[in-house]
């Protein structure tokens, strides 16, 4: 009798362990849920960091070539001889010059050609025109960059 009850008791204990063992995995299942939340929180922070860098980039952009500042350089120095349409004045109309500039002299990019056109106009003479365009050493490097940015916008 006593041996049986020991065995039964033992089985009951084993059963309790089994229940406890079953109950335990339920808790670890809950634990990963909690660990998902911390994962979401750090992912919010890296998202904020790039957006902070993106805010810096537009701030730098205006310090680059400024086409609208270039427009006033053009009005002051060039408009007497150049239309921004395709109509000829003293010099050729400059509509579409941004695209044409890259095809004028082989090996010269649009930017190179425009720089040369302004600083050493005698290097390349547009067919049908007299070589009367003066050079513009008085235009500063910054104004020249702005002026070229403006010329590139002409369509
Ligand atoms: C006195 C008149 C005169 C002024 C001022 C002048 N240009 Fe010219 N420009 C010309 C003439 C004429 C030509 C065509 C002959 C040649 O290629 O040099 C020309 C040619 C050009 C070309 C080449 C166009 C092409 O189709 O390849 C560019 C670009 C140009 N000028 C830009 C300018 C800019 C920018 C200014 C102001 C900084 C300016 N010019 C001021 C008379 C002028």
* CA atoms within 13 A of residue 30's CA, in its CB half-sphere: 4
Query: What is the C-alpha separation between 74 and 120, in angstroms, rounded?
Result: 17
Q: What's the rounded mean pLDDT across residues 119-135?
A: 97
What b/e string do you get for 37-53 counting C-beta neighbours within 10 Å, with b at 16 or more?
eeeeeeeeeeeeeeeee
The number of the ligand 1 atom at minimal distance from the alpha carbon of 126 is 17
* Cβ pair 110, 102 in contact under 8 A: yes
Give residue 84's pLDDT: 98
Question: pLDDT, tens digit, for every residue of 53-111?
Answer: 555 555 555 578 999 999 999 999 999 999 999 999 999 999 999 999 999 999 999 99
Name the residue of 133, 138, 148, 153 whose CB sits within 8 Å of the most ligand 1 atoms, as the mutation to test its pocket. 133
Q: What's the rounded mean pLDDT across residues 129-152?
A: 98
The answer to whether the CB of 115 is under 6 A from ligand 1 is no
Say how far residue 131 (Cα) sits from the centre of its chain: 41
Give residue 52's pLDDT: 53
Residue 113 predicted with pLDDT over 50: yes
Give residue 141's pLDDT: 97
What b/e string do you get for 123-155 counting C-beta neighbours within 10 Å, with b at 16 or more?
eeeeeeeeeebeebeebeeebbbbbbbbbbebe
Question: pLDDT, tens digit, for every residue of 11-55?
Answer: 555 544 544 554 554 455 555 555 555 555 555 455 454 555 555
The answer to whether the CB of 96 is under 6 A from ligand 1 is no
Residue predicted with more confidence, 47 or 140: 140
Give residue 58's pLDDT: 56
Query: What is the C-alpha separation between 22 and 27, in angstroms, rounded?
Result: 10
Task: Kindly give, in sequence order, each residue whose CB lies less than 8 Å from that of residue 82, ignoring residues fewer than 6 positions away.
Answer: 74, 89, 90, 91, 92, 93, 94
Query: What is the C-alpha separation between 114 and 96, in angstroms, rounded?
Result: 12
Give residue 19's pLDDT: 44
The number of the ligand 1 atom at minimal distance from the alpha carbon of 121 is 18
């Amino acid at each position: 009798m006593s041996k049986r009850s020991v065995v039964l008791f033992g089985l009951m204990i084993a059963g309790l362990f089994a229940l406890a063992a079953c109950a335990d995995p339920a808790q670890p299942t809950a634990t990963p849920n909690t660990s998902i939340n911390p994962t979401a929180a750090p992912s919010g922070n890296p998202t904020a960091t790039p957006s902070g860098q993106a805010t810096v980039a537009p701030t730098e952009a205006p310090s680059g070539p400024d086409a609208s500042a270039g427009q006033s350089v053009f009005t002051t120095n060039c408009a007497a001889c150049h239309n921004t349409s395709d109509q000829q004045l003293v010099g050729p109309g400059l509509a579409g010059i941004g695209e044409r500039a890259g095809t004028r002299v082989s090996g010269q990019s649009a930017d190179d050609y425009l720089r040369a056109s302004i600083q050493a106009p005698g290097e390349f003479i547009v067919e049908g025109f007299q070589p009367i365009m003066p050079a513009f050493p008085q235009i500063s490097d910054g104004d020249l960059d702005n002026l070229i940015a403006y010329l590139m916008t002409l369509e």
